[in-house]
Structures are given as structure tokens and as C-alpha cells.
Amino acid sequence: MPFKNITLGEFIIENQEQFKFAEGELSRLMNSITLAAKVVNHEVNKAGLVDILGASGDVNIQGETQQKLDIFANTVFINTLKRRDIVCGFASEEEDDFVIVSDNDGGFDHKYVVLIDPLDGSSNIDVNVSVGTIFSIYRRVSPVGTPVILKDFLQKGRNQVAAGYIVYGTSTMLVYTTGHGVNGFTLNPALGSYYLSHPNMKFPEMGSVYSVNEGNYVHFPQGVKDYIKYCQREEEDRPYTLRYIGSLVSDFHRNMIKGGIYIYPTSTKAPKGKLRLLYECNPMAFLAEQANGKASDGYQAILDIEPTELHQRVPFFVGSIKMVEKAEEFMTLYKE
């Protein structure tokens, strides 16, 4: 892909009209997220050098051990958003409840809420494997001038005004959408600026990679088991290749570039799936649809699911449109 000498800042200004309700506020919000991402990136990169590796000993609301860098990333994103006086509230995978943010003058006049998974795939940190940040931005539904309420966060994914991820990989990339396609920016660490490196990203219609934690095979629903067997069958363009990093952002990123499907299904061990609708699936689903891909819970579009709770989990099928459609066919055969 040709490298365009355009910085993220220039791109945002040039495409200001693409932000719904553009008033410069959303651009400033994006800037704060990317600034926080630079700080997290710096810390992730020196993870092996300082005493920041390993579990903190704390357990988050979902009973999972928090890594030190999870907490660090959470604090950086939240503090940046608060200090920049830009959002009226946020919710994080690492926080028990949503947080109301007042303006610097004590009012509640800001319009946007941010939902974030500050460091996804964090069990990979100790072994130097890529992790990511996932974010999602909505316009509040409660009246401006009042504190945000739960309803502002429990919106359908279709209502997102922007979403994206940062992948802390061999290079650091920001990939985001405002509903006008998906663009990828690579961080030039020497200059501290993101440059447009992957304009107009698209999932190939069809791919040859499937990504699933096959170790859980015996616990999967029959539709998923059959789809996996289909992926492995010697026929036409099959068997497909299995690639599973265990870091959603990285698996998604690879599949978007090369073509593939990522699946985190329900299982007897995790009857609702593992991934969170609000912090992980909705933003990735928005990106997928904007990149000609598809995101489903096996039966319906992720973006059409009405959320009922902040930390809700859903099964997740995302990737190249034809592959997700095929997986849905298998799921439908066993729908009760």
C-alpha cells in the first residue's frame, strides 16, 4: 500500500466534515485518545525493562486478574479524557461502573461518552506478544447539561459515531472509523506522529485464515464444531490456515489485511461467550462493517443487539463477509 505523507492531525482536519455532528469536539476527543495511546505505547514498549510486568494481585469485576499494565493503561486513558475536558462520561472494561465526568466549570455540557478496553489481550504482555486498545464513541442520549446515565452507555452499536483500535505490535498502529471507511495510521516513534499508512482498509471478501481457540473445541456448540471441520476439509480452496494469537486486536488486524474469520463462540465453559459487547465486539463490528466485512453473534448483526448491561458478553464471529456468512449457515442449522 502506498505510504501517504499525511499525519493523523492533517487527516482529521481534512476530513472534519465526515465526523457526524462535527463541531471540532469529536476531533479533539480523537486527539486525546491518540495522545493517551502514545503514552501507553511507550510503557508497553519498555515492559521488559521495568518492574511493571506481572499480575498486580487485583481482580477486576469479571473475576479476572488485572495486569499492572492494564491498570496503567486504564489510568492514562481516563486521566487524559478527564483533564482535556472533552467527554461527559466513560466506561471501561477495567471499571465496575460507568463514570460521570463534569466539565472543568462544573457543568455537564459535553456530548460524547467513550467506552474503552484499555489493554486488550493483556495476558500476552508477559510474553512480548502484541496487545491493543479498543475504543468506541457515542453521542449521549440524555439531555446535555445533566450528568450522564446508564442509558448513554447501553446504546446499540449502530449508534457509534467513531470506533477504533491501537495495536501495539511490531509497529504501533491506530485504525479507526467515523462511519466513512476505515483508515490505518502508523506511529513514527522518532517523531511521535501517526502517519496515514493504510488508507481505506477493506477485508477481502473471502480469506483462508480461521482464528479460534480450538483448544476449547469439545465445549463449542455444534454449529461451530461443524464450521471448524468445514475449514479443515480438503476441498476447493480448503483446508484453511489456523492463526490464533489470542489477542483480538492483532487477530482482527491480520484478518482484515489478509482475509479471514475470528470466532469467540459460546462454550460450556463460557455460556455467553468471553468477549464484551460494549468494549470489544461493537467497536470491532463497526470497523468490520465499514471495511466490507461482517460481524455477527452467529445469527444476527452485532451492531443490532440491544445492550442490557455494561459488561455484557456475546459470542463473536467477525471477518471476511463470505466466511462469516458461511459460519452463520452452520449456526442456523442448530438454532433452537
Of the pair 88, 327, the CB lying nearest ligand AHM is at: 327
* Residue bearing cell 468471553: 274
Q: Tell me the residue nearest to Mg ion as measured from the CB.
A: 120
- Between the alpha carbon of residue 197 and those of residues 85, 183, 269, the distances in Å are 30, 8, 40
Among positions 28-57, residues that touch ligand AHM (CB under 6 A) are none
- For residues 84 and 36, is the Cβ–Cβ distance under 8 A? no
How far is CA 198 from each of CA 3, 8, 162, 173, 301, rounded to the nearest angstrom?
7, 12, 18, 10, 26
253 makes contact with ligand AHM (CB under 6 A)? no
Contact region with ligand AHM (CB under 6 A), list: 13-21, 147-155, 163-171, 247-255: 247-255
Q: How far is the CB of 327 from Mg ion (least distance, A)?
A: 22
H or E, element range at 163: strand 162-168
Minimum CB distance to Mg ion, residue 132 (Å): 9
Helix, strand, or coil here: 302? helix
| Residues 88-127 close enough to bind Mg ion by CB under 5 A | 117, 120
- Contact between 271 and ligand AHM (CB under 6 A)? no
Q: Going residue by residue from 60 to 79, which x/- string records binding to ligand AHM, judged by CB under 6 A?
A: ----x---------------
Do residues 174 and 9 lie in contact, with contact meaning Cβ atoms separated by under 8 Å?
Answer: no
Q: Which of 246, 299, 325, 333 binds ligand AHM (CB under 6 A)?
A: 246
Cα 69 → chain centroid: 17
Q: Answer positive or negative: Cα dihedral of 66, 121, 87, 185.
A: positive
Q: How far is CA 43 from CA 2, 55, 116, 185, 247, in A?
A: 30, 16, 18, 20, 18
Distance CA 263, CA 232 (A): 15
Residue 121 found at the interface with ligand AHM (CB under 6 A): yes
User: Shortest approach of ligand AHM to residue 336 CB, angstroms?
Assistant: 25
Smallest separation (angstroms) from ligand AHM to the CB of 213:
3
Least Å from the CB of residue 153 to ligand AHM: 18
DSSP letter string, 67-113: EHHHHHHHHHHHHHHHHTT--SEEEETTSSS-EE---TTS-----EE
152 binds, among ligand AHM, Mg ion, none (CB under 5 to 8 A by kind): none
* Residue 122 or 282 having the CB closest to ligand AHM: 122
297 binds Mg ion (CB under 5 A): no
Q: Which of 110, 198, 274, 313 binds ligand AHM (CB under 6 A)?
A: 274
Output the smallest distance, CB 248 to ligand AHM, in A: 3
Q: How far is the CB of 197 from ligand AHM (least distance, A)?
A: 23
Q: Is 70 in the site for Mg ion (CB under 5 A)?
A: no
How many residues line the site for ligand AHM (CB under 6 A)? Answer: 11
- Measured CA to CA in angstroms, residue 268 lies from 80, 163, 221, 240, 331 at distances of 40, 31, 8, 26, 16
Question: Quick check: 213 binds ligand AHM (CB under 6 A)?
Answer: yes
Q: Terminal CA-to-CA distance of the chain, rounded, Å? A: 45
Q: Which residues bind Mg ion (CB under 5 A)?
A: 117, 120
Q: Which residues bind ligand AHM (CB under 6 A)?
A: 64, 117, 120-122, 213, 246-248, 251, 274
